[in-house]
Amino acid sequence: MSNCPAITMQDISAERYAQLLVTAQAQGLGLAGESGSTQFQGMGFSWSYDRAAEVLTIQCTEKPMFVPCSMIEARIRGLVG
């Protein structure tokens, strides 16, 4: 197992973040609150949301060797939109 670089996204308003949590939970990701960690499909993720700065940081902390970080980042950015 290995990890990927953190992905930092700017201009994530509180309303947008709340909607992201709803979307993530509907897809089976256990995200709740403004920071934490979760497991999803054999991979580990951590996240932190800074409401004042409107910055969301997500990192894949565990993944199989055969899953490239670029694919994970593309999925995350697609989810955030």
Condensed to tens digits (0 to 9), the pLDDT of residues 53-71 reads: 999 999 999 999 999 999 9
CB distance 37 to 44 below 8 Å: yes
Condensed to tens digits (0 to 9), the pLDDT of residues 3-53 reads: 999 999 999 999 999 999 998 888 888 788 999 999 988 899 999 999 999
Q: Provide DSSP, 49-64.
A: EETTTTEEEEEEEEB-
Whether 2 has a pLDDT exceeding 80, the answer reads no
Considering only residues 18 and 80, tell me which one the structure prediction assigns the higher pLDDT.
18
Per-residue confidence at 1, pLDDT binned at 50, 70, 90?
low
